[in-house]
Chain A
Amino acid sequence: MAHTASRKPPRVGDSPIFRRSLIGVVLILGALLIVAPLLVIGHEAFKQGWKVYIDTLSHPDTRHAIMLTVITALIAVPVNTAFGVAAAWAITKFDFRGKRLLLVVIEIPFSVSPIVAGVAYLFVYGLQGLFGPWLDDHDIKILFALPGIILASMFVTAPFVARELIPLMQAQGRDLEEAATSLGASGWRTFFSVTIPNVKWALLYGVVLCNARVMGEFGAVSVVSGNIRGQTNTLPLHIELLYHDYQAAGAFASASILALLAVFTIIAKVALERRGAGRRKTLSDAAAPTGP
């Protein structure tokens, strides 16, 4: 490398010392901040052997927490996917009043602390809240039950799918849909055979990110779920509870499940990015002529 560099005129920051120290700082910080905690989780989870690990995970409360998290994801992710697709479609294919406002509203969950969302749900659905008395009269339980957990998770993850789709669909424009319709395709047909195939990787990418966040969500859910062990504890809440009970092995074992989910998510994400999903420009160059 050194002799190649000496032949070329030096660029900004191209001196070996600068380069090495920069790379070194990043590697050290990355190891300290990201890799070490993950390794600790793995180490702590298995410190007392496989048996304890399996036992902790097969504890009814832990199993219930895992189930609850999965159920929440199974409901929140499809709903948010539908919401994201509909929002992206509306924003990119139609012109209407309040379009910019809608864009801002969709982004709110990104900028608001999840705990604020949780508290807001308390005020809306809680006993002293807006719909609280009415819900109580009709014997509908939203807070401190599954519906509340799902609602809070959906609030926090509402933007994920839409955020992935909107830039891509904006770049693609309306031409393809117009072409399909002018050729006689119905709205659904156009959607499924023209729109979806052209955004499928971005859509999957959004779904993967959304899923990761739903499963890992702590703040908002912790406010609305009430932390009832074996009833309304999702996996992240359960981990916290175990930890406060000085059950380090159990906490780390449960945490390892979440970490594992995260690793799968990353793998899926990288695989999808290879397919052209994500923020990069992915529109096929079919529209741009490359010469005769």
Chain B
Amino acid sequence: MKIRLDNVIKTFDTFRAVHGVSLEVESGELIALLGPSGSGKTTILRMVAGLEYADGGHIYFGDQDATDIPVRDRGVGFVFQHYALFPHMTVAENIGFGMSVSKVKREKAAIAERVNQLLKLVRLEGLGDRFPAQISGGQRQRVALARALAVDPKVLLLDEPFGALDANVRHDLRRWLREIHQELGITTIFVTHDQEEALDLADRVVILKEGQIVQQGTPQEVCREPKDAFVLKFLGDANRLAGEVSGGIARAGGAEIAAGGASDGPAEIYARPRDLDWSAEGPGVSATVSRVLDRPGERRVIATAVTGEPLELDVDPEREIAAGDTGFVTFRRAKVFAL
């Protein structure tokens, strides 16, 4: 089912949570709404579900205007951040709940069979008789997903699906969710504040800031061509240097970088730790090493530029470097944004 949001607005009391968001989600697509807290991503998801009504604009499911369809009849599967499993029902009863309350009556045996299928799909065979309090966080997550899938939703909506899980479980579940999506081909929107999760899982990432879409595109597009400094910084660690652009070249503290499309005048230059390197000779930004952090894959050098700006760069693990060394930070690549 294709989903289209047309200029959707939501205001809470006096706080405008969502400002005129328009978005298209193709049928079968898996997209991430990514943004810091307060960016309106969860509100958008809840409006698509019908748990929140839009103050303005329209939401279309296919060709149908779904803006005023109540959540009960909207046919969405919603996975809550804290799963919202019914604590007084077993796992099987939780999964079967949607089918047993449905207007379309089903026989008990048919429901039980479908519950078993779903338990198999989410790899929880044999846990149907447990209560939510008796299973682990990752298992609850999968029960919540099975429960949402049980009603054959047109759209699957997940609010911070892995937010409450520890890193290892999170990683496995991410891969697993991608597999399930591949298998079922259901249009899926999920909300996250974790850029790694969004880039890892989604076909397309929608980046939000203060209730508006800043940029949307495939993970490759948003990573390689961030539209502005906010997107660039939000997607990962970045160093910022003040500079000056003239004639297509940005200059900062002795380093020269191709300015891309930035117009002449003052500019800010962003580079990720991987995009910088350390060298004994210039040209580059003259700097002093203040600390070296050793990590499994690289050495993170924390240095201070002559201009006083802090810089962080990653060098190969074999590299000999220590606090107090002086030298030059050189640029492999960087993004320049005119101020």
> CB within 8 Å of B: which residues of A?
175-176, 178-186, 189, 193-194, 197-198, 283-292
Stretch at the interface among B109-117, B165-173, B244-252: B165-173
Q: Which residues of chain B come closer than 8 Å to A283, judged between CB atoms?
A: 87
Interface residue B164 (Cβ < 8 Å from any Cβ of A): yes
Please, how many angstroms separate the alpha-carbon atoms of A176 and B88 in the complex?
A: 11
The answer to whether B97 touches A185 (Cβ under 8 A) is yes
- Kindly list 12 other residue pairs between chains A and B, CB separation below 8 angstroms, not including A179-B78, A182-B76, A289-B136: A179-B147, A183-B151, A184-B72, A185-B98, A284-B87, A286-B83, A286-B131, A286-B140, A290-B136, A290-B137, A292-B166, A292-B168
Please, how many angstroms separate the alpha-carbon atoms of A287 and B76 in the complex?
A: 22
Interface residue B18 (Cβ < 8 Å from any Cβ of A): no
B17 to A: closest C-beta gap in Å: 14
Interface residue B274 (Cβ < 8 Å from any Cβ of A): no
Please, how many angstroms separate the alpha-carbon atoms of A178 and B50 in the complex?
A: 10
The answer to whether A180 touches B169 (Cβ under 8 A) is no
- Give residues of chain B (141-191) contacting chain A, Cβ–Cβ below 8 Å: 147-148, 150-151, 164-166, 168-169
Interface residue B291 (Cβ < 8 Å from any Cβ of A): no
- Give residues of chain B (58-99) contacting chain A, Cβ–Cβ below 8 Å: 71-74, 76-78, 80, 82-88, 97-98
CB-CB under 8 A for A292 and B138, given A182-B71, A285-B133: yes
Q: Which residues of chain B come closer than 8 Å to A292, judged between CB atoms?
A: 136-138, 165-166, 168-169
Interface residue B51 (Cβ < 8 Å from any Cβ of A): yes
Please, how many angstroms separate the alpha-carbon atoms of A197 and B76 in the complex?
A: 25
Please, how many angstroms separate the alpha-carbon atoms of A194 and B98 in the complex?
A: 12
Q: Which residues of chain A come closer than 8 Å to B77, judged between CB atoms?
A: 182
Please, how many angstroms separate the alpha-carbon atoms of A286 and B91 in the complex?
A: 11
Interface residue B241 (Cβ < 8 Å from any Cβ of A): no
Selected from A178, A189, A198, A290, the residue in CB contact (under 8 A) with B101 is: A189
Please, how many angstroms separate the alpha-carbon atoms of A79 and B73 in the complex?
A: 33
The answer to whether A287 touches B71 (Cβ under 8 A) is no
The answer to whether A182 touches B49 (Cβ under 8 A) is yes
Q: Which residues of chain B come closer than 8 Å to A180, judged between CB atoms?
A: 86, 97, 101
The answer to whether A176 touches B151 (Cβ under 8 A) is no
The answer to whether B166 touches A287 (Cβ under 8 A) is no
Selected from B78, B102, B140, B150, the residue in CB contact (under 8 A) with A289 is: B140
Q: Which residues of chain A come closer than 8 Å to B295, judged between CB atoms?
A: none
Please, how many angstroms separate the alpha-carbon atoms of A289 and B161 in the complex?
A: 13
14 residue pairs from A and B, CB less than 8 Å apart:
A178-B78, A179-B84, A180-B97, A182-B49, A182-B51, A182-B72, A182-B76, A183-B150, A193-B101, A284-B132, A287-B82, A289-B137, A289-B140, A292-B137
Please, how many angstroms separate the alpha-carbon atoms of A185 and B72 in the complex?
A: 7
Interface residue B103 (Cβ < 8 Å from any Cβ of A): yes
CB-CB under 8 A for A184 and B101, given A175-B84, A287-B83: yes
A180 to B: closest C-beta gap in Å: 7
The answer to whether B84 touches A178 (Cβ under 8 A) is yes
Residues of A contacting B: mostly: helix
Interface string of B17-58 (1 = CB under 8 A from A): 000000000000000000000000000000001110000000
A238 to B: closest C-beta gap in Å: 43
A66 to B: closest C-beta gap in Å: 38
Q: Which residues of chain A come closer than 8 Å to B148, judged between CB atoms?
A: 182-183
B163 to A: closest C-beta gap in Å: 10
The answer to whether A176 touches B84 (Cβ under 8 A) is yes
Interface string of B278-312 (1 = CB under 8 A from A): 00000000000000000000000000000000000
Q: Which residues of chain B come closer than 8 Å to A287, judged between CB atoms?
A: 82-84
The answer to whether A181 touches B71 (Cβ under 8 A) is yes
CB-CB under 8 A for A291 and B86, given A179-B78, A182-B71, A286-B140: no
Please, how many angstroms separate the alpha-carbon atoms of A198 and B85 in the complex?
A: 12
Please, how many angstroms separate the alpha-carbon atoms of A115 and B274 in the complex?
A: 78
**Which chain B residue has the least Cβ–Cβ distance from A200?**
B88
B226 to A: closest C-beta gap in Å: 33
A197 to B: closest C-beta gap in Å: 4
The answer to whether A291 touches B84 (Cβ under 8 A) is no
The answer to whether B80 touches A183 (Cβ under 8 A) is no
Please, how many angstroms separate the alpha-carbon atoms of A189 and B102 in the complex?
A: 11
Greatest chain A CB density within 10 A among B88, B103, B133, B150 is at B88
Q: Which residues of chain B come closer than 8 Å to A284, judged between CB atoms?
A: 87-88, 132-133
Q: Which residues of chain A come closer than 8 Å to B74, judged between CB atoms?
A: 182
The answer to whether B165 touches A286 (Cβ under 8 A) is no
Q: Which residues of chain B come closer than 8 Å to A178, judged between CB atoms?
A: 51, 71, 78, 80, 84
B292 to A: closest C-beta gap in Å: 34
A96 to B: closest C-beta gap in Å: 12
**Which chain A residue has the least Cβ–Cβ distance from B170?**
A292
Q: Which residues of chain A come closer than 8 Å to B51, judged between CB atoms?
A: 178, 181-182
Greatest chain B CB density within 10 A among A179, A189, A197 is at A179
The answer to whether A184 touches B151 (Cβ under 8 A) is yes
A251 to B: closest C-beta gap in Å: 47
Please, how many angstroms separate the alpha-carbon atoms of A186 and B151 in the complex?
A: 15
B92 to A: closest C-beta gap in Å: 14
B210 to A: closest C-beta gap in Å: 23
Please, how many angstroms separate the alpha-carbon atoms of A181 and B84 in the complex?
A: 12
Q: Which residues of chain B come closer than 8 Å to A290, judged between CB atoms?
A: 136-137
